[in-house]
Amino acid sequence: MQIDKIRNVAILGAGAMGHGIAQVFAQAGYDTIIRDVKQEFLDNAILKIGASLDFLVSKKSITPEEKEAILTKRIRTTLDTRAAVGDAQLVIEAVPELLDLKRKIFREVSAMAPEDAILATNTSTMSITDIAGAVALPGRFVGLHFFNPVTKMKLVEIIRGEHTENQCMDVMTAVVQKIKKVPVSVLKDAPGFIVNRINAPNQALMNAILDEGKIRPDEIDTTMKRMGIPMGPFELADFVGIDVFCHTLEYYAEKLSPDYKPGKVLHELMASGRLGMKSGQGIYKWNGEKAMIDSSKPSTDISPKEFLAIQLNEAIKVFKEGIARSTQEIDQAVVHGMRAFAGPFALCAGMTPAQMTEPLTQLQKRFKLDIFTPEPELVDGSFKKFSTN
Ligand X SMILES: NC(=O)c1ccc[n+]([C@@H]2O[C@H](COP(=O)([O-])OP(=O)(O)OC[C@H]3O[C@@H](n4cnc5c(N)ncnc54)[C@H](O)[C@@H]3O)[C@@H](O)[C@H]2O)c1
Strand order in the sheet with 8-12: 75-78, 31-35, 8-12, 90-93, 118-121, 141-146, 155-160, 182-186
β-strand partners of 388: none
- Looking at residues 10 to 39 of the shown chain, list those that interact with ligand X (rule: CB under 6 A): 12-18, 35-37
Site size toward ligand X (CB under 6 A) is: 21
Regarding 40 and contact with ligand X (CB under 6 A), the answer is no
Q: Output the smallest distance, CB 39 to ligand X, in A.
A: 11
Q: Looking at beta carbons, which residue is closest to ligand X?
A: 15
Lay out the site mask for ligand X across 251-290 (x = CB under 6 A, - = otherwise): ----------------------------------------
Catalytic residue status for 247: no
Q: Contact, 278 vs 243, CB < 8 A?
A: no
- Looking at residues 132 to 151 of the shown chain, list those that interact with ligand X (rule: CB under 6 A): 146, 148
Is residue 11 exposed (0-12), middle (13-18) or buried (19+ Cβ within 10 Å)? buried
Q: Output the smallest distance, CB 8 to ligand X, in A.
A: 17
- 370 DSSP 8-state letter: G
Residue 146 or 245 with smaller CB distance to ligand X: 146
Q: Output the smallest distance, CB 129 to ligand X, in A.
A: 16
Closest CA to 113 of 90, 96, 131, 94: 90
- Looking at residues 318 to 337 of the shown chain, list those that interact with ligand X (rule: CB under 6 A): none
Regarding 94 and contact with ligand X (CB under 6 A), the answer is yes
- Looking at residues 96 to 135 of the shown chain, list those that interact with ligand X (rule: CB under 6 A): 96-97, 105, 122-124
Closest CA to 159 of 193, 196, 114: 193
Q: State the Cα–Cα distance between residues 236 and 224, nearest whole angstrom.
A: 12
Helical pair 195-212 and 217-226, crossing angle rounded to 10 deg: 140
- 276 DSSP 8-state letter: B
Lay out the site mask for ligand X across 175-194 (x = CB under 6 A, - = otherwise): --------------------
Q: Output the smallest distance, CB 153 to ligand X, in A.
A: 9
What residue ranges bind ligand X (CB under 6 A)? 12-18, 35-37, 41, 94-97, 105, 122-124, 146, 148
